[in-house]
Amino acid sequence: MDKAEELLNTLDVNDENLYPVSPEEEAHIVIGKDRVITVPPDLKRLGVQYDKNVESVTFDCPRYWDGIDLLDMAMYINYVRSDGKTGSYHVADTAVDPDDENMINFTWTISEHVAYVNGKITFLVCAKHSDSSGASTNRWNSEINRDCYISEGMDTNQVIEDVNTDLITQVLLKIDELDEKCTTIPTLVSQLENDSKYLEADGSVSFGRKTGTTVGEKSIAFGYDVEASGQYSFSEGELTKATGRGSHAEGGAGTIASGKYAHGEGYGTTASGQAAHSEGYNTYATGNYSHASGYNSKAAADMSNAENYATEANGKCSHAEGLISIANGMASHAEGGGTSTYRASTMWRMQMASMPIL
């Protein structure tokens, strides 16, 4: 029997010191309610010089501080090496302690930057919270701890120290991760998904299109029970209809754009003339190239304009404005309250007679 076998025979297989400690059984670094960090003797040596991501230590920390939940904050471990160089480690695994919901656990993996120089490691734990603009709103710090160290090691190869600290390295890794995810962003409408189903890629876009209605070629229906049955039409809002070619209906229930290139907007408006425009509440632009706006106004003739309250422009190129004014004649103009006109001026009638008919 050689000396090696004799030595092995002297070992006690029941000696716990001969077996590695599992992460579940390893002691934790504890942050007390006084913010003081207590490091168990077995964890004071964080690693050997030139180690790289092979040792991790677990922290136990109170979760709440004067009503502020550290779980909602970004956690960092800021450290200073024995040569005076500093670094910051961003904690990525903060979680509620499985045995105590008022405690949190997180780990610190000892990087090459931490272990590059042997000697004392001075550190503290910092938690930060920022608003949407990036400005710091809350910051919590533990007491400084000076109990830990990196023991002396040896590297026979020439080593050039990585000048990036832990935090920069972690950010770069996160950028790589996000860059990889960006390659999977959908580029087709058929790959987009809402809560109920995929968006239809039928040459048109349907998101809230009324069931059973005609789908216009390259039309867009966006809202609630909206109808876009016209070629190249666009309907949006609630219960609107765009049935004319190139028409656009928007707003509330009953708004209709049925004329070619017509535009109806507001609530309960109708634009049925070619290139007509109705807006407001319950207005009608039924003449070609007509415009009705306001409340209960009607532009019934070609190129007519009715605006304000309950006005009517019934004559070609007529204009009614004000309150319950009516312009019945060609190129007539009614304004004010309750006025009516049936004929344009002599000069206007002579000019209109020479105009080409559209």
Q: What is the 3-state secondary structure (H, E, C) of 171-218?
A: HHHHHHHHHHHHCCCCCCHHHCECCCCECCCCCCEEEEECCCCCCCCC
Nearest-angstrom CA–CA distance, 73 and 67? 13
3-state secondary structure of 348: helix
Residue 11 lies in a domain: no
CATH number for the domain including 337?
2.150.10
Residue 337, pLDDT score: 81
CB atoms within 10 A of CB 9: 8
Residue ending a domain, choose from 141, 170, 199: 170
Residue 10 lies in a domain: no
pLDDT band at 348 (very low <50, low <70, confident <90, very high): low
Residue 61 lies in a domain: yes
Mean pLDDT estimate for the chain: 84
Residues 136 and 194 in one domain: no
108 vs 356, more confident: 108
Residues 145 and 249 in one domain: no
Residue 145 has pLDDT above 60, yes or no: yes
pLDDT band at 131 (very low <50, low <70, confident <90, very high): confident
Residue ending a domain, choose from 170, 205, 240: 170
Looking at residue 17, the DSSP 8-state letter turns out to be G
Residue 146 lies in a domain: yes
Residues 243 and 291 in one domain: yes
Residues 47 and 195 in one domain: no
Residue 3, pLDDT score: 64
Residue 136, pLDDT score: 83
- What are the CA-CA distances from residue 284 to residues 20, 239, 257, 332 (Å)? 85, 17, 10, 19
Residue ending a domain, choose from 142, 170, 198: 170
Contacts of 284 (CB under 8 A, 6+ apart): 269, 270, 272, 278, 292, 297, 298, 299, 300
Q: Do 104 and 61 form a contact (C-beta atoms < 8 A)?
A: yes
Strands 100-109 and 95-97: antiparallel
Nearest-angstrom CA–CA distance, 187 and 117? 49
Residues 247 and 303 in one domain: yes
Residue 293 lies in a domain: yes
Residues 137 and 82 in one domain: yes
Residue 258 lies in a domain: yes
Residue 194, pLDDT score: 54
Residues 311 and 193 in one domain: yes
pLDDT digits (tens, 9 = 90+) for 60-115: 999 999 999 999 999 999 999 999 999 999 999 999 999 999 999 999 999 999 99
CATH number for the domain including 73?
2.60.40.3350
pLDDT digits (tens, 9 = 90+) for 324-343: 899 998 888 888 887 877 66
Residues 133 and 210 in one domain: no
Nearest-angstrom CA–CA distance, 181 and 22? 34
Residue 135 lies in a domain: yes
Residues 337 and 269 in one domain: yes
Residues 327 and 247 in one domain: yes
Q: Could you list the residue range(s) of the whole structural domain that residue 128 is in?
A: 26-153+165-170
- State the total domains in the chain: 2
Task: Locate 127 and state its tokens.
Answer: 């938690």
Residues 120 and 201 in one domain: no
Residue 16 has pLDDT above 60, yes or no: no
Looking at residue 289, the DSSP 8-state letter turns out to be T
Contacts of 331 (CB under 8 A, 6+ apart): 315, 316, 317, 318, 344, 348, 349, 351, 352
Residues 233 and 334 in one domain: yes
Contacts of 174 (CB under 8 A, 6+ apart): none
Nearest to 294 by CA among 267, 329, 263: 267
Residue 263 lies in a domain: yes
Residue 158 has pLDDT above 90, yes or no: no
93 vs 222, more confident: 93
**Lowest mean pLDDT segment, chosen from 181-190, 205-214, 278-287, 311-320:** 181-190
Q: Rounded mean pLDDT of 239-268?
A: 92
